[in-house]
Amino acid sequence: SAVIEEQKFSLQEVLDTFKLCLSENQDVYVEHYVAGWRGLVKFMNSLGNVFTFISKDAVSKIQILVNFLNGENGSHYVTIQSMVKYELDNQLVDLDKRGSHPESGSRTLLRLHRALRWLELFLERLRTSTEDSKTSVMCADAYNESLSQHHPWLIRKAAGMAFCVLPGRPTFFEVMNVGGAERVVDMLGDAVPMISKVYQITEDLYAQNNLLELP
């Protein structure tokens, strides 16, 4: 019934949150960015317990950002642009090595930002995949091309093991709860460019401020 369907989780809604991230003048709202990640985590948890070591880290990073957003300086954390400016202007970022600000908003968001690139690559592979494509391979390829470069050996190994137990493409599509394969492809065709845009704007901001290697 309609009631049951409403309670079911749909990846469409999650990816739509990333659309809300962009303001008219291309600023990125932290609130929606974080909400997008929350939804992704929920999705990942529905795939099984193996993935909780991954989602735990994402959850703690989401929490750090939410705390800033709800804190006394929250007005500076409304967009990624204002956050970076505020933290840099007030020396609230550890730039070279971890020191007195190990959990700045800027370095925390950078971790999620790198993971967003993985998501973009993975979803694009999923979009163009065929029935016999393996999600584990798509996931690993996307990871090796992006996020893995920022991870030490042990995490890369653990991630590789998690990919191996990913459910197959049919289950994946089902859990996404978007509809048949055609609808999934359409939805991803919509969502991926949006995610790319948010990624690129953030990437440019961090590059301009020399923040891409924050410890």
Residues of this chain that interact with ligand 1Q0 (CB under 6 A) are 11, 40-41, 43-44, 47, 51, 54-55, 57-58, 111, 114-115, 118-119, 123, 126, 139, 143, 147, 155, 159, 166, 172, 176
Q: What is the closest distance, in whole angstroms, from the C-beta atom of residue 189 to ligand 1Q0 in the complex?
A: 13
């893995």: which residue's tokens?
Answer: 148
Looking at the chain, the number of H-run helices and the number of E-run strands are 10, 0
Q: Which is nearer to ligand 1Q0, 40 or 84 (CB)?
A: 40
Q: What is the closest distance, in whole angstroms, from the C-beta atom of residue 154 to ligand 1Q0 in the complex?
A: 9
Q: Which is nearer to ligand 1Q0, 50 or 201 (CB)?
A: 50
Q: What is the closest distance, in whole angstroms, from the C-beta atom of residue 142 to ligand 1Q0 in the complex?
A: 8
81, 106 Cβ separation under 8 angstroms: no
With residue 38 as reference, give the H or E element that holds it: helix 30-45
149, 30 Cβ separation under 8 angstroms: no
Q: How far apart are CA 109 and CA 54, in angstroms?
A: 16
3-state secondary structure of 39: helix
Q: What is the closest distance, in whole angstroms, from the C-beta atom of residue 173 to ligand 1Q0 in the complex?
A: 8
Q: What is the closest distance, in whole angstroms, from the C-beta atom of residue 139 to ligand 1Q0 in the complex?
A: 6
The Cβ of residue 98 has, within 10 Å, a number of other Cβ atoms equal to 11
